[in-house]
Structure 1
Amino acid sequence: MGDDAFARIRNGTPHRFPMLLIDTVEHLSPGTGRASKQVSANEVLFERFGDAPPALPSCLLVDALGQVAILLLKGPDGEAPSVWYLGGIEAMHFHAPIPAGGVLRMEANILKRWRTTARVEVKAWLESGPAADGVMVLSQRGSKSDESR
């Protein structure tokens, strides 16, 4: 990954190792964003699962989708002085496990945005087909309007 691509991710989300779950930003424009994650068998997050076949836990899949949504909400330059938090999940459906060795593709689309709240549709898929989809509600902190209160 080039320095510019890594800076885009690093500036766009507050997450860091081992919780940064985005490897590549494929597309980021107003209203929609796409990113991917290479799921490796030797990741730290798989150490707790013993002899079970390594697969990305669904809670981390939700976190990864949330990170794509955050990148989208912060915009292409990632310079907005705000932090977005998961406020709720309206719906989330899991269709297939994310095995080690797979490439997870993720997409986020803004459905509606208020001043400090957004409803975002999220989707994840593998080459073999859909992995998950749902709707998240995110809430913002650190905006100039919040600082003046």
Structure 2
Amino acid sequence: MSDHPMALIYGGTPHRFPMLLVDSVEELSEGLGRALKQVSANEVLLERFGDAPPTLPSCLLVDALGQVAILLLRERDGGAASVWYLGGIEAMTFHTAIPAGSVLRMEARVLKRWRTTARIEVKAWIGAVPVADGFMVLSQRGSGSNE
């Protein structure tokens, strides 16, 4: 795998523009992944309600956290050609809105991994302010022995 950040992201997730929500990877290590999302004011995906400032919808935050989890799981598999699907969301809590102009820090941590299933703790912050946290269950389908 190339050292270029976009090659790491493109090699780790099937998402592409406009649904690729990870802008850079800070860390991928054993059981922990950290990434950033720059929330731009001109993104087509931002919600706008009346005169309220544009914000990132919570459903897209969940998708972004899932993409960090996928990057982490594929890194653990050595970049194997596999696809991870969201199997469930447990106890997801949203603390505050994500306004345009924010730098969203995201983290995924593997809590338990079975053969083709993983339980992941996910968290997001803007600076030191918590934005969301919860748990995801992902299931794998790939090419090889895990299929």
- Structure 1 gaps of 5+ residues are none
Residue identity matched to 2:37: K
Matching of residue 111 in structure 1 with residue 77 in structure 2: no
Conserved in 2, the CA contact under 8 Å of 1:11 and 1:78? no
Equivalent residue, structure 2, for 1:121 = 121
TM-score (ref. length: structure 2)? 0.92
Shift of 1:127: 1.4
Conserved in 2, the CA contact under 8 Å of 1:71 and 1:78? no
Equivalent residue, structure 1, for 2:100 = 100
Distance 1:17 1:114, change over 3 A: same
Q: CA RMSD in A?
A: 2.0
Matching of residue 26 in structure 1 with residue 45 in structure 2: no
Give the secondary structure class of the aligned counterpart of 2:16.
coil
Residue identity matched to 1:133: D
- Structure 2 gaps of 5+ residues are none
Equivalent residue, structure 2, for 1:91 = 91
Bigger proportion of residues as helix: 1
Matching of residue 81 in structure 1 with residue 81 in structure 2: yes
Equivalent residue, structure 1, for 2:41 = 41
Residue identity matched to 1:42: N
Q: Distance in 2 between matches of 1:130 and 1:83?
A: 29
Give the secondary structure class of the aligned counterpart of 2:81.
coil
Shift of 1:39: 0.2
Distance 1:49 1:13, change over 3 A: farther
Q: Distance in 2 between matches of 1:138 and 1:6?
A: 23
Percent of aligned pairs with the same amino acid: 77
Residue identity matched to 2:108: A
